Amino acid sequence: MFKNRVIITGPASEELGINLSRKSGIQLMKPEIKIFSDGESKITMESVKNKNCTIIQSLYPPIDRHIIQLLMMIHKCKLDRAAKITVIIPYMAYARQDKEFVKGEVITIALLAKLLKYFNIFKLITIDIHSKESLSYFGGNIINVSAIPLLARYVLDNIDTYNVIVVSPDYGGFSRAQKFAKILKKDVIYLNKNRNRQTGDIKIETKYGTDLKGKKIILVDDMISTGNSIIKSCELLKKNGVANILVVCTHALLLNEALIKIKQSGANEIISTNSVPNLCSKVDLSDILYSSIKDK
């Protein structure tokens, strides 16, 4: 059934590519990757002539290396005259650089979109992109899939949700937290966050409307990078007497010892997907990715 299809997994998403291959029954191809002493990547792939190719490569750090590796794999497929190319980028880098916040800034997500559009790929799939405005740069062939239902089901199956309130660390993520809370059938609130564009400092004010003392909190976000916003949120929630805090996100980059710092701020656990493989990535994305490619 799938003899003319192949899943090509980049070095950033090997586990996820393997899971997707097993889920779908589509042949897996792992290109040979070599990193030279100067940091250059070299990729060697078998021919995919006339194949329907699905390339999967997340763009977490080292971001620029993972981007060039992705472009190399796409380029090889084009050279081989693959029948069709679908690209899956579970974590889309540069989505926070979606506008000119300060005069003279490059809108880097627009550049990345232009690079990918150059190859005229059939479909681009990503998971919980940080900025919906970023989607506009890619045109009509990008699909942004939500992992919130998967994360919510994992919590329902593995966590005691008695006395839980769902919290978004800011108003911008409130709709995401609302979707999560709806599945859990729990109340939801948000915190009011203000970031200084020049210094990067974050100030958080409460927007409660409900008593949090003794409550169990599920703090829901799309991504955690250095964790500064989550840390300030946890510290504020602890000051308001919450019993414990579970942090749930799609993309856990966890840079600069963020995991340690978040736990020190009061969080009991962090649960994320395997868009970025680490100790917290307990939710596998292969189910929703298979749904996105099975009829392509």
Q: Which residues are catalytic?
A: 193
Q: What is the CA radius of gyration of the chain?
A: 20
Q: Reduced to 3 DSSP states, what percent helix, strand and coil does the chain have, rounded to the nearest 5?
A: 35, 30, 40
Q: What is the DSSP string of 112-162?
A: HHHHHHHTT-SEEEEES-S-HHHHGGGGGGEEEE--HHHHHHHHHHHS--T
Q: What angle do CA 159, 287, 268 make, to 5 degrees?
A: 25
- Per the listing, tokens 């779908």 go with 24
Question: Is 234:245 a contact under the CB 8 Å cutoff?
Answer: yes
The structure tokens listed for 75 are 């380029």
- Dist. CA 20–CA 8, nearest whole Å: 10
Question: Is 267:237 a contact under the CB 8 Å cutoff?
Answer: no
- Dist. CA 106–CA 253, nearest whole Å: 23
- Dist. CA 43–CA 175, nearest whole Å: 41
Q: Is the peptide bond before 62 cis (omega within 30 degrees of 0)?
A: yes
Minimal CA–CA distance to 208: which of 184, 231, 242? Answer: 242
| Helix intervals (H) in the chain | 14-24, 63-79, 108-118, 132-135, 148-158, 174-184, 228-239, 258-264, 286-293
